[in-house]
Structure 1
Amino acid sequence: MSISTAAGVFDAIAAGPPEGRPVLLLHGFPQTGLAWQRQITALAAQGCRVVAPDQRGYSPGVRPKRPEDYHISVLVDDVVAITEELGWSAFDLVGHDWGGAVAWWTAGAHPGRVRTLTVVSTPHPGALADALRTDEDQRARSHYMRDWRETPATEDRMLADDAELLRTLYAGKVPQASADAYVRHLSQPGALTAALNWYRSGRPDGAIGVIEVPTLYAWSTQDTAFGPAPARDTGRWVNGPYRFEILPGVSHWIPEEAPETLNRLLLDHLQAHGKHGITANSPDDDAPDGGAEDAHRQ
């Protein structure tokens, strides 16, 4: 489907009944909405209305050239614009990698609209910032972000030799057909630069606070980008009901490497924090259920 906003037209995958419980899925780098195909199928089967957009820069219809047009506040505005165009006054929000960062910031800025939050891999931005100051392991893991700010050298390296370097990022954990689709997509003129502009956009203008909505955070022990320090510290940044799940032996690419596990966690989370179950989208269910009992913390 196509979603028209003031910023441009976003491409998206959609499934499930139009009247179903709204769920928005945000992908990360270097992927597209296709990364969520297994979650889309599972959620739609439970009666949810699921939309997974190709985010700013990944959708050809929203591909500005300037790095500053990928500032986190602009990416949050995209989420709001997309959901308003879809007619969603409240929705469940799910994000992975960069999509996870956008999800954290959106939940912080618009708690009245985000019914539940699920973030995969990416720690709370405050926890990550603290780890970058105090944890040598996380500083080493994040070094690539500085390297990727070089332009056009980074694009040239990643796309050389049939995008050999870009393909290595998937670490053999992403299905080959999906990896090929991502490489084709990011090999379009200007597409990889747009995706890398997320890293080049500069620091956020302000600080993100604690999250008040019911939150599920899933982190895997073989994640090369995010280490245990910010992952374990993330709970300190959530005041709402919080569940932290560790996936042993799984890499950064959780939605595609461990889809059954993630689907179970996600469906449990939605069931626990919907007054009338997963499928319902009644007016009484539009606001986050702040009174729910806290889930376990690991």
Structure 2
Amino acid sequence: MTFDVSEGGPSDGDPVLLLHGFPQDSREFDLILPRLHEAGLRTYALDQRGYSPGARPTAVTAYRMSEVTDDAVAVLDALGIESAHVVGHDWGAQVGWQLAVHHPHRVRTLTAISVPHPRALLLALRVRPSQQARLAYFGLFRSRVAEKLLSARHSLALRLMLRPIGMRAEQYVAAMREPGRLTAALNWYRAFTSEQVAGLGVVTVPTTYVWSDQDGVVGLTAALRTRDWVRGDYQMVAMRGISHWVPEQAPRELADAVLARIGV
């Protein structure tokens, strides 16, 4: 498969791998990149499996966590990067947690945005009915009618979902009209099972978890219990008045958190 990667910043800067979520792509980090480049960092923003046109398999099983995590490792290999600072949002954060646990020698630091350590989220799902309600959309996204519902009325549902980021939403809505892209993106949900993360261990690399209090996906319990699963240097950054779409709603604050974690 061929992955699209947007590179930027000084060619000799410390590498930063940026991993996006649904329904966005690597452009969701555009607003924080200037700060990272000014700090001397070399960035690699990856369009992940299903989003890169040359990496869009049709089988649902091709989107399991093991597969998409291996993609990130393979991209680092192809770029000749032994280890990188990893910044991930939403599904990208999920991949980041997997990388930090299974490939810690490839991860210098981790900044996970919105999605907490999977074991913390599983705990919250057991003890907090409100967390179960927050993730009820998973069932819809896994359904056979998800594509039809999300693309109906000129992708109204996607536009409403991304309303906090204003007109930036239009670039993602337009991209989802590419043949097979929406189905591939939804296959991340269809391929996911709790068993894939139930045994995920502790993170030993330096880690920052960024949570926002208006996030409709992740509640406070899962955010706070993430600390239980990080043995490396850890910080939780809580943002007030910000929704799930942190990189585009609070780029300055997020860039500050990323740079503080990297230490530049």
Q: TM-score range by the shorter chain?
A: over 0.9
- TM-score in terms of structure 2 length: 0.97
Residue in structure 1 matched with residue 60 of structure 2 by the alignment: 67
The runs of 5 or more residues in structure 1 that have no matched partner are 1-7, 272-277, 279-298
Residue in structure 2 matched with residue 230 of structure 1 by the alignment: 222
Match of 2:190 among 186, 196, 200: 200
1:205 shift after superposition:
4.0
Q: CA RMSD in A?
A: 1.0
Distance 1:145 1:154 in 2: 10
Residue in structure 2 matched with residue 160 of structure 1 by the alignment: 152
- TM-score in terms of structure 1 length: 0.86
1:202 shift after superposition:
3.4
Where does 1:71-220 land on structure 2 (aligned, <5 Å)?
71-151=64-144, 153-170=145-162, 172-176=163-167, 178-203=168-193, 204-205=195-196, 207-220=199-212
Of 12-21 and 191-200, more deviation after overlay is shown by: 12-21
Residue in structure 1 matched with residue 6 of structure 2 by the alignment: 13
Distance 2:9 2:241 in 1: 32
> Is 1:32–1:54's contact at 8 Å kept on the other side of the alignment?
yes
Match of 2:260 among 256, 268, 274: 268
The runs of 5 or more residues in structure 2 that have no matched partner are none
1:247 shift after superposition:
0.4
List 4+ stretches of structure 1 deviating above 4 A: none
Percent identical: 43
Distance 2:111 2:238 in 1: 14
Identify the structure with the greater helix proportion. Answer: 2
Distance 1:62 1:129 in 2: 30
1:191 shift after superposition:
0.5
1:39 aligns with 2:32: yes
Larger Rg: 1
